[in-house]
């Protein structure tokens, strides 16, 4: 690779620009060689399939955006696939396994929480810290199941960037129904 | 359908390379071997002399790409290789000095040969610190993969058996919809539970296990005095959901016993679907794993939770000074990935830098997985103690998947946590995910091969017996805010998508699913997916032939 203005440059600058040019050439050759190998050995990804999936997703998003503008998707269900309709709060009644009282299905979880003494006050903020979240997974037992999080994120966390600590979703779907 | 295997078939060599090998066998390769040099990062080159820079024999140039003749060891630059082969008859095959790649002078092309790559890799392994190259340390891999084979066939057996069981259980059903579709009542903010249950109920190998009565609640209750058995409660749900009854089912008993099981969990209102998923599998393992194989660790546990969901992750930390690699394996029940940031997509490895999403700027699952397996330089605060150098060194860490599970659960970390402000925030960004997912690029064999320049070489654990191609079957989505929101599951049964929104089951277009805000993605191995579809569609479901009669006209 020859850079322009070779003649106007000091010998030192010439040398370093040559050096840089050589280095660049070498890196380009490296990448070309690597790609050639990948392609010849059939190790490249199936980009066609990936692109097709991307295209379908983009299309779907455009379609959904369109229909939500016309106010279609936000509408409530009329019937389910079986032709049934359901009340916002499930009305089935059964006996609580803990105290034996009759409870409406849609109110069972809040009842059970009180009934089993897991009152709202028992909700400890501490359990949301990262160590608690981890203890929850590992429970100190080697045979216990756990979920894997790439420790990359841990590193990021220690660097003060967004990470995994104590993240959880909560849901209050009830209000939404 | 293209099924690309992580290990390749040997490429066809050109006539000239074939001729060369016929005449000279491996002599050229072998004598070259001692001159091969590799960097700790895995790049190989040829260095004939410590002191002299190689130069072209014709023009004395050293700055162009140089090639070493495999027959006479003379060096020519790219412009003069042809001249050399013309002056010396038959000197057609040369080696790229800087990259140790074969080059055919007559074809003007880089060519590939398994014996040559083997030569390079063997030298590479010799140069690396003993036994810990991260390449070939695997006796265990062989043992494991044969175990795996047994396991897979076990699941197939389940499927056959379950087909019979399923049809027996379904006698009452007159549904014209695939089987096991039943709404679950919201018991008061319990959509976190319902959403995950729907995915579990339709995870093919998991479903087969319960439908073939391998954990029958009646049998179990008779046998054991312990009244708390989570698998039993799951079995009860399976019976209910596959009974053909269409009224929404209330998984109250299940909630009750799960709650008892998970004594240290916070209030249900704070419950996260992913944590719930983990705790359910944990509960199954506790009951089943201990009964079956009390001493074995998670990686080989034969409980149904681990048989279906457990994979093995590999983590390599490589010393940047000497190339020593320390490898550890960790079982995992799912993989949590960070949302990749669009616009600064990972570059580097040639085959990974060509990402279609680079210009569209949306996050993709493939991008997240690339990020997951990307080599990462460890910071100076966490220097790695290299056993070979006997001191702390800079290092590179890289994750890969040693063994894939039958059902792959991917969890998207949609959180941003600021420790400074003690605040969590949900990232509401859209993440594109494919219906068909190829996990080959993330397998240890692919990742390690790539690290060593993709040489044709039997890298450890080229697991040929398990497929890395997956099909999606369930998507758990979350809408709304961090502390108030709603979980909904989309299920894919016999290639139709159904929305499971607590009590409501509706049919949806696949576009709705593609556009949804995914939180957990459930993929199943392609072969198991197709088998499951067969199982579902060949059921004596109804007198009608078409299982997909539109809603209005149905029954
Ligand atoms: Zn009660
Ligand atoms: Zn020359
Ligand atoms: Zn020669
Ligand atoms: Zn040729
Ligand atoms: Zn049981
Ligand atoms: Zn287990
Ligand atoms: Zn070292």
Sign, Cα dihedral of B169, B173, B179, B184: negative
Average pLDDT, chain A: 67
CA B65 to chain centroid: 38
Chain B residues with beta carbon closer than 8 angstroms to that of A110: 188-189
pLDDT of residue B17: 94
* pLDDT, tens digit (0-9, with 9 covering 90-100), for A38-59: 888 888 777 888 889 999 999 9
Which band of pLDDT confidence, cut at 50, 70 and 90, is reported for residue B18? very high
- Count Cβ atoms within 10 A of the Cβ of residue B191 and give its class: 0-12 exposed, 13-18 middle, 19 or more buried: buried
B310 CA to centre of ligand 7 in angstroms:
33
CA distances from B483 to A128, A140, A173, A175 (A): 13, 29, 10, 12
Contact A86 B268 (CB under 8 A): no
Query: What is the DSSP code string of B379-410?
Result: PGGG-EEETTTTEEE-EEEEEEEEE--SEEEE
Confidence of residue A151 (pLDDT cuts 50, 70, 90): very low
Full-model pTM:
0.78
Whether A78 has a pLDDT exceeding 60, the answer reads yes
Instruction: For residue B173, name the pLDDT band (cuts at 50, 70, 90).
Output: very low
Best mean pLDDT range from A67-81, B152-166, B320-334: B320-334
Which of chain A's residues have a Cβ under 8 Å away from the Cβ of B486?
A: 171, 173, 176
Q: What share of chain B is helix, strand, coil (3-state, %, to 5)?
A: 35, 25, 40
Q: Residue A93 has what pLDDT? A: 94
How far is the C-alpha of B259 from the C-alpha of B266, rounded, in Å?
10
CA distance linking residue B142 with residue B525, whole number of Å: 21
Which of A73, A90, A144 comes nearest B503 by C-beta?
A: A90
**pLDDT reading at A154 higher than 70:** no
- Residue A42's CB is within 10 A of a number of other CB atoms, namely 12
The pLDDT value recorded for residue B151 is 40
Identify whether the C-beta of residue B142 lies closer than 8 Å to the C-beta of residue B459.
no
CA distances from A130 to A154, A158, B469 (A): 10, 12, 34
pLDDT recorded at residue A123: 39
**Token pair belonging to A49:** 């399939």
pLDDT winner (highest mean) among A107-121, A149-163, B56-70, B342-356: B56-70
Contacts of B116 (CB under 8 A, 6+ apart): B29, B102
Nearest to A164 by CA among B413, B25, B396: B413
- Per-residue pLDDT at B365 exceeds 70: yes
**In the prediction, which pLDDT does B145 show?**
40
Q: Which residue has the higher pLDDT, B464 or B493?
A: B493
Note every long-range contact of B360-364, with CB atoms under 8 Å and residues 24 or more positions apart, other chains counting.
B360/A54, B360/A58, B362/A58, B362/B430, B362/B431, B362/B432, B363/B339, B363/B429, B363/B430, B363/B431, B363/B432, B364/A54, B364/B340, B364/B431, B364/B432, B364/B433
pLDDT band at A167 (very low <50, low <70, confident <90, very high): very low
- Between B53-57, B107-111, B229-233, B340-344, the lowest mean confidence (pLDDT) is in B340-344
**Percentage, residues of chain B above pLDDT 70:** 75
* Cβ <8 Å between B356 and A92: no
Contact A80 B505 (CB under 8 A): yes
Contact A67, B515 (CB under 8 A): no
Least confident of A166-175, B202-211, B318-327, B458-467: A166-175
Reply yes or no on whether the pLDDT at B157 is more than 60.
no
- Positive or negative, the CA dihedral A73, A77, A80, A86 is positive
pLDDT given at position B147? 40
* E strand intervals along B78-163: 93-96, 101-104, 109-111
Mean pLDDT of B110-124: 90
CB contact at 8 A, B254 and B241? no
Q: How confident is the model at residue B135 (pLDDT cuts 50, 70, 90)?
A: low
Predicted pLDDT at B504? 94
**For B159-176, what is the mean pLDDT?**
46
The listed range with the strongest mean pLDDT (B299-308, B383-392, B467-476) is: B467-476
Cα separation, B288 vs B298, in Å, equals: 12
DSSP state of B285: I
Which one is predicted more confidently, B71 or B221? Answer: B71
**Alpha helix positions (H), A70-106:** none
DSSP for residue B340:
P
Query: Residue B307 has what pLDDT?
Result: 92
How confident is the model over B156-183, as a mean pLDDT? 56
Instruction: Verify whether residue B389 is a known catalytic residue.
Output: no
For residues B310 and B298, the answer to whether their CB atoms sit within 8 Å is yes
**Is the model's pLDDT at B236 over the cut of 60?**
yes
CB–CB of B356 and A80 under 8 A?
no
Residue of B241, B255, B100 whose CA lies nearest to B177: B241
What pLDDT is attached to residue B552? 27
User: By CB neighbour count within 10 A (0-12 exposed, 13-18 middle, 19+ buried), where does B82 fall?
Assistant: middle
Q: List the beta bridge partners of residue B385.
A: B392
Could you state, in order of their start, the residue ranges of all structural domains in chain B?
2-127, 148-305
Q: Which helix (H) or strand (E) holds B127?
A: helix B114-127
Q: Which of B14, B56, B77, B191 is catalytic?
A: B191
pLDDT in tens, B518-545: 999 999 999 888 888 776 654 443 333 3
Q: Which of B151-155, B238-242, B287-291, B495-499 has the lowest mean pLDDT?
A: B151-155
Q: Identify the pLDDT of residue B475.
A: 98
Tell me: pLDDT of B294 over 60.
no
pLDDT band at B456 (very low <50, low <70, confident <90, very high): confident
Q: How confident is the model at residue B396 (pLDDT cuts 50, 70, 90)?
A: very high
Between A109 and B467, name the one with better pLDDT.
A109
Tell me the percentage of chain A whose pLDDT exceeds 70: 56
> Is the confidence at residue A80, as pLDDT, over 50?
yes
Which residues have CB under 8 Å from B131's CB, separation 6+? B137
Is B322 annotated as catalytic?
A: no
Contact residues, chain A, for B430 at CB < 8 Å: 61
pLDDT the model gives residue A54: 92
Please tell me which residue, B64 or B401, carries the higher pLDDT value: B401
Q: Among B267-271, B384-388, B520-524, where is mean pLDDT lowest?
A: B267-271
Phi-psi region of B361 (alpha: psi -120 to 50; beta: other; left: phi over 0): left
Residue linked to tokens 């105290």: A99
| Per-residue pLDDT at B2 | 37
B2-127 is classed CATH 3.30.230.10: no
pLDDT at site B132: 53
Whole-number Å distance, alpha carbon A154 to ligand 6 midpoint, is 26
- With H, G, I as helix, E, B as strand and everything else as coil, classify residue B110: strand
Q: What is the pLDDT of residue B70?
A: 94
User: Which residue is associated with the tokens 């074969």?
Assistant: B102
pLDDT in tens, B252-261: 999 998 888 7
Which tokens belong to B466? Answer: 């398990």
In this structure, chain B runs to a length of 555
User: In what helix (H) or strand (E) does residue B497 lie, and over which residues does it extend?
Assistant: strand B496-501
Question: Which residue has better confidence, B478 or B349?
Answer: B478
DSSP H stretches of helix in B268-319: 273-284, 290-292, 304-309
Any residues with CB less than 8 A from the CB of A160 and at least 6 apart, and which? B419, B420
Q: pLDDT-derived band of residue A74, with 50, 70 and 90 as boundaries?
A: very low
With tokens 């799960």, the residue in question is B258
Enter the CATH code of domain B148-305.
3.90.70.10
CB contact under 8 A, B372 and A150: yes
Q: Do B454 and A37 touch (CB under 8 A)?
A: yes
**Mean model confidence pLDDT for chain B:** 80
Three-class secondary structure of residue B412 per DSSP: strand
Distance CA A98, CA B471 (A): 41
The CA B81 to ligand 4 mean position distance, Å, reads: 13
Tokens in use for A127?
A: 């359990």
Chain B residue closest in CA terms to A29:
B65
- B2-127 with B148-305: one CATH topology? no
pLDDT of residue B350: 37
- The yes-or-no verdict on residue A150 having pLDDT over 90 is no
Helix (H, G, I), strand (E, B) or coil at B87: helix
Give a three-class secondary structure readout of B149-193. HHHHHHHHHHHHHHHHHHHHHHHHCCCCCCCCCCCECCCCCCHHH
Helix residue spans in B422-499 (DSSP H) = 444-451
What does each C-alpha distance from B142 to B88, B463, B464, B472, B511 come to in angstroms? Answer: 48, 9, 11, 29, 42
Average pLDDT over residues B481-504: 90
What are the pLDDT digits (tens) for A83-125? 889 998 999 999 999 899 999 999 999 999 888 875 443 433 3
Mutate to test the interface with B, among A147, A165, A176 (most CBs of B within 10 A): A147
Residue B323 to residues A33, A103, A139, B43, B97, Cα–Cα distance (Å): 23, 65, 36, 11, 21
Query: pLDDT value at position B278?
Result: 92
| Predicted pLDDT of residue B39 | 81
């Amino acid at each position: 690779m020859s850079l322009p203005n070779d003649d106007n440059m000091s010998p030192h600058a010439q040398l370093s620009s040559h050096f840089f040019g050589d280095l660049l050439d070498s890196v380009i050759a490296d990448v070309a060689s690597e790609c050639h190998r990948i392609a010849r050995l059939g190790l490249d990804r199936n980009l066609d399939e990936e692109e097709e999936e991307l295209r379908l997703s983009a299309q779907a998003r455009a379609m959904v955006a369109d229909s939500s503008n016309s106010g279609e998707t936000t509408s409530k269900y009329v019937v389910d696939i079986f032709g049934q309709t359901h009340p916002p709060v499930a009305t089935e009644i059964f006996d609580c396994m803990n105290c034996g009282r009759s409870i409406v299905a849609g109110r069972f979880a809040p009842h059970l929480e009180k009934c089993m003494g897991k009152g709202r006050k028992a909700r400890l903020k501490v359990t949301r810290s990262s160590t608690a979240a981890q203890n929850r997974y590992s429970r100190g037992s080697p045979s216990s199941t756990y979920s894997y999080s790439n420790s990359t994120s841990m590193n990021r966390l220690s660097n003060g960037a967004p990470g995994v600590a104590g993240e959880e979703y909560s849901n209050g779907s009830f209000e939404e129904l | 359908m293209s099924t690309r295997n992580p290990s390749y078939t040997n490429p066809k060599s050109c006539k000239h390379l074939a001729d060369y090998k016929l005449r000279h066998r491996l002599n050229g390769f072998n004598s070259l071997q001692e001159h091969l040099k590799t960097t700790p990062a895995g790049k190989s080159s040829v260095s004939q002399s410590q002191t002299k820079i190689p130069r072209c024999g014709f023009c004395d140039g050293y700055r162009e790409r140089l090639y070493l003749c495999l027959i006479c060891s003379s060096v020519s630059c790219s412009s003069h290789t042809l001249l050399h082969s013309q002056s010396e008859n038959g000197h057609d095959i040369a080696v790229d000095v800087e990259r140790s790649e074969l080059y055919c002078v007559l074809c003007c092309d880089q060519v590939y040969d398994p014996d040559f790559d083997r030569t390079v890799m063997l030298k590479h392994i010799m140069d690396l610190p003993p036994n810990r190259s991260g390449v070939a340390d695997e006796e265990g891999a062989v043992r494991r993969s044969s175990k795996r084979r047994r396991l897979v066939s076990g699941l197939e057996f389940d499927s056959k058996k379950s087909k019979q069981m399923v049809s027996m259980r379904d006698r009452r059903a007159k549904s014209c919809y695939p089987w096991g579709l039943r709404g679950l009542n919201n018991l008061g903010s319990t959509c976190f539970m319902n959403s995950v249950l729907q995915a579990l109920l339709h995870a093919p190998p998991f479903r087969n296990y319960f439908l073939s009565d391998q954990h029958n609640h009646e049998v179990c209750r008779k046998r054991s005095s312990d009244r708390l058995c989570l698998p039993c409660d799951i079995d009860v749900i399976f019976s209910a959901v596959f009974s053909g009854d269409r009224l929404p089912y209330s998984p109250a008993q299940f909630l009750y016993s799960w709650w008892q099981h998970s004594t240290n969990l916070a209030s249900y209102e704070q419950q996260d679907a992913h944590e719930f998923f983990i705790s359910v599998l944990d509960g199954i393992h506790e009951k089943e794993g201990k009964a079956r194989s009390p001493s074995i660790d998670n990686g080989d546990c034969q409980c149904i939770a681990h048989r279906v969901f457990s994979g093995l992750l590999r983590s390599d930390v490589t010393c940047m000074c000497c190339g020593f690699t320390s490898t550890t394996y960790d079982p995992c029940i799912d993989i949590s990935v960070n949302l990749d940031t669009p616009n600064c997509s990972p570059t580097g490895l040639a085959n990974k830098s060509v990402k279609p999403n680079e210009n569209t700027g949306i996050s993709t699952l493939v991008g997240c997985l690339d990020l997951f397996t990307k080599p990462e330089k460890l910071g100076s605060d966490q220097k790695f103690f290299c056993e070979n150098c006997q001191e702390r060194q800079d290092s590179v860490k890289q994750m890969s998947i040693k063994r894939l599970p039958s059902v792959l659960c991917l969890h998207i970390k949609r959180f941003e946590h600021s420790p400074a402000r003690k605040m969590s925030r949900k990232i509401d960004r859209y993440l594109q995910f494919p219906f068909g997912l190829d996990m080959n690029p993330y397998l240890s064999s692919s990742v390690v091969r790539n690290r060593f320049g993709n040489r044709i070489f039997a890298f450890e654990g080229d697991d040929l017996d398990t497929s890395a191609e997956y099909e999606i079957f369930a998507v758990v989505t979350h809408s709304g805010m961090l502390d108030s929101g709603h979980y909904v599951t989309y299920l894919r049964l016999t290639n139709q998508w159904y929305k499971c929104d607590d009590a409501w089951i509706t049919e949806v277009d696949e576009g709705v699913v593609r556009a949804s805000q995914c939180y957990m993605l459930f993929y199943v191995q392609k072969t198991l997916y197709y088998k499951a579809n067969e199982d579902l569609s060949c059921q004596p479901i109804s007198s009608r032939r078409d299982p997909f009669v539109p809603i209005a006209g149905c029954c």
